[in-house]
Amino acid sequence: MAQQTHPSDDHIPGMPILFDSPQITGLFSEIFNISGVEPVQREYLRYKPNTSCLCLYQTKYAGQFHLFYAKAFSDPAKVSKAVEKMTTTSTLAQSHCKVDIENQVVLYRYPCDNRLSGLAALITPHERRSLLQRALFDNTQVLCSVTPLQYKPERRFVGRLNFPNGTQAVVKVYTQERYTAVAKSYLKRDTSPFATLRGKSDKHCLLIYDWIEGEHLKQEGQLTEQELEQYYQCGKALSALHNSHCSKKIKPISTDKFSRLLIKHVDDASHVLPENSAQVLWLGEQLVQRINALPTPSCFIHGDFYAEQVLITPEGAKLLDFDNICCWYSSFDIGNFLAHLDYKVAVELLDVEQLGKIEQSLLDGYKTLGDVNHQEVMLFRAIGLIQLIYHPLRFGMHDWRAASRKILCKCHQYLTSSVPQGEWLHLDPSMPQLTHLLNLKELNLALLDSPCDEIEHCVLTRFKVGKRAIIECWSKETSLIGKIRAKGFDNASWCTQNALYESGFSPKNDGSVQVPKPIVALPHLNIWFQEKVTGHPLFQPFCYGHNLALPRRLAFALYKLHNCVLETNKVHSIEDELSILEQNLQRIISKLPEHKTRVQRILSWSQVLVAQLPHQPSRPIHRDFYHDQILVSEQTIYLLDFDLFCHGSPFIDVGNFVAHIQEQCLREVGDPFFAQTALDEFVHRYALLSGLTDSASAINTFRLLSLARHIAISQRIPARREFTPQIIGLCEDEIRKAL
């Protein structure tokens, strides 16, 4: 089975190791000097973009299963701190904690935990007896075993204590900060408003409760009437909690603090799903606005309510785990519960029909004692879903990005459902139709007379305020890409795509070079749809592959485009190309005072190069031809995005492609000429195919103009700004050679 891909994060050097089973298995075996270690299985993940990534693993050696976790850091100082702590604390830490300094990864063997100081004492038999002697209110029995139930490293451990007389108890170990917060919610000694407290240890940050026997709610597959009745009982029990007397010990959630945490979570999610960042950030902003517009809450709530927090007993439904008990909106518990079931649907463990039946049973039970505000429930259901957007990554789903996009789609749907009738949400006032297109009901209504199947999921993948947007849609049979333009329907692009598809760029011909099939246009909504094609981005195989067949195939694809017979009124001259460069560089010169003279000199040199160009042939050209506009499969090269299609010099496309590859190689590997062998083969084959063997000088000039334009591009994209000086230096060196 293919390994799960990891989020792109250049700040954490050890990230790839954590997602590579053979590598992390080998590192564990080597660093702890243990032989015969079987391949690890990841159990849990926690990721903070640009900061750290923690993974819990299970492995087997010496005939037994073992746990360990690894934490990769971006900051070397954090690794040094771990080394210092390892050498100055207990002997367990010294033997169970090891550091891979080169990759900035720290490994901890269970039960050694960097923040759960009481875990080792609980798990080590001789220390456990002493601990329980002090912690249990009734300490007549202290001999027991521990069965782990849930372990989130550096967060919380939950286990079952098994006593010789057959009785059991739940034990929880917390971090110091979390224990202090949780302990405030409990009364002294053996009583609590939520469960029978059997013991506690302030020193070890540990709480012990009575064990409750029961069965969990069924959440997958087809449910019987009896199983649906259990959800009715669950709703009734939740309503009883919400209607109980609100103790003064239980403090309300600060809506401002919750909003700040939600914005931080959404910001992190935008880094994990960069192609959907515009929609993720907009959703976060809208959700926070909606929360802050709600009336002041005053209800007793569970605070972390979902199906695993409920047991069905002979006495009815019992709610578990009140660590997050607080006062806030009752709809938060209901919405969060349903959001977790929506997640099950997104990962195909539960179907929509069963979810509908569960929802109805839950709400019917709840209504026996309380009212349901459906708009508030939809709002908190959207919030619950966006808080689960990491789950497909966290729990090892191979195609975690697709699952996260489904969650994003549902979140958008519930947000729009939470808005009062007659009120609209707009991502961008210049594209008011965008919000409607991201609503499945309205989208399917718009596509009713088209050849499209019913759309099941839809997300925003690209978004430029006031200009354009791209949405991606999925039905059972196919996937579609929808292109929206703010200033009106892009009829030229729609016609170009159709003309190309019908004139040799479809599977009906040899199929080696294709464009996506155009499906349907909705001019009144400024959008048209094309079929999504399957293929791999070009950059990796082109630059890192050792087979020159791909550069040759690409040269043929571009040659075929340049020689298609297609009418267009758009013309792009050499003067236009230079004008675009001048506008871009003049715009950013004021932002680069320390490089102003160098940038102005590059612009002057570029003007000289253009003046030296001979008369250029005119062909149909892409005009934005670079590696992100190309997908590659085993048999086919797909050319994408013909928004700028026009007549112009074919060497503009060739030079632009070369410059983009060199610029990304500069950023990724520190060497702009890393893929030069492949680039030379691409240029050489294109010249042979076109018969324009004297094209080298013109191609090089357009390459240099494109490289110079990357100075401005690097300033426009925050993540690239650090590379601006290197790009300026590259331009200077390369233009000097050409003059």
354-366 residues labelled b (16+ CB within 10 A) or e (exposed): bbeebbebbbebb
Rounded to whole angstroms, how far apart are CA atoms 662 and 521? 37
> Quick one: residue 156, left, alpha or beta (phi over 0 = left, psi -120 to 50 = alpha)?
beta
Residues of the chain with CATH 3.30.200.20: 117-210
Listed in sequence order, the residues at least 6 apart from 448 whose beta carbon sits closer than 8 Å to its beta carbon are none
Rounded to whole angstroms, how far apart are CA atoms 377 and 290? 12
Cα 466 → chain centroid = 25
The reported pLDDT for the residue numbered 463 is: 82
In degrees and rounded to multiples of 5, residue 524 shows phi and psi of -70, -15
8 A C-beta contact, residue 58 and residue 40:
yes
CA distances from residue 110 to 68, 70, 135, 607 in whole angstroms, order as listed: 5, 11, 22, 65
pTM comes to 0.79
Rounded to whole angstroms, how far apart are CA atoms 157 and 172? 6
8 A C-beta contact, residue 123 and residue 111:
yes
8 A C-beta contact, residue 690 and residue 599:
no
The reported pLDDT for the residue numbered 124 is: 93
Q: Residue 520: which of 508, 512, 528 has the closest Cα? A: 528
Torsion sign (Cα): 275, 278, 279, 281 = positive
Q: Residue 174: which of 136, 131, 135, 205 has the closest Cα? A: 205
DSSP letter, residue 294: S
Token couple for 552 = 């040759």
Pick among 1.20.1250, 3.30.200, 3.40.30, 3.10.180: CATH of 14-109 = 3.30.200
Token couple for 363 = 């709400």
Rounded to whole angstroms, how far apart are CA atoms 452 and 477? 9
Token couple for 553 = 């195939």
Q: Residue 49: which of 412, 461, 390 has the closest Cα? A: 390
Listed in sequence order, the residues at least 6 apart from 533 whose beta carbon sits closer than 8 Å to its beta carbon are 514, 516, 631, 638
Token couple for 176 = 């110091």
Token couple for 634 = 């085993």
The reported pLDDT for the residue numbered 423 is: 66
3-state secondary structure 232-259: HHHHHHHHHHHCCCCCCCCCECCHHHHH
CATH class given for the domain over 216-418? alpha beta
Residue ranges of the chain whose pLDDT lies below 50: 1, 187-191
CA distances from residue 615 to 224, 563, 611, 648 in whole angstroms, order as listed: 78, 19, 10, 11
Q: Residue 352: which of 273, 315, 402, 406 has the closest Cα? A: 406
8 A C-beta contact, residue 335 and residue 383:
yes
Question: Which of helix, strand or coil describes residue 85?
Answer: helix
Q: Residue 123: which of 110, 140, 108, 139 has the closest Cα? A: 110
| Residue given tokens 């996260």 in the structure block | 404
Rounded to whole angstroms, how far apart are CA atoms 655 and 696? 10
Token couple for 588 = 């950013």
The verdict on domain 455-531 having CATH code 3.40.50 is no
pLDDT tens digit sequence for 127-160 = 999 999 999 998 888 899 999 999 999 999 999 9
For helices 277-292 and 400-417, the axis angle rounded to 10 degrees is 40
Residues of the chain with CATH 3.90.1200.10: 216-418, 536-738
Q: Residue 119: which of 107, 136, 131, 134 has the closest Cα? A: 131
The reported pLDDT for the residue numbered 191 is: 47
The reported pLDDT for the residue numbered 438 is: 86
Pick among 3.90.1200.10, 3.40.640.10, 3.40.50.1110, 3.20.20.120: CATH of 536-738 = 3.90.1200.10
User: What does the DSSP assignment read for 575-600?
Assistant: HHHHHHHHHHHHHHHTT-GGGHHHHH
CATH class given for the domain over 117-210? alpha beta
497-533 residues labelled b (16+ CB within 10 A) or e (exposed): bbbbbeebbeeeeeeebbbbbbbbbbeebbbbbbbbb
Torsion sign (Cα): 443, 449, 450, 453 = positive
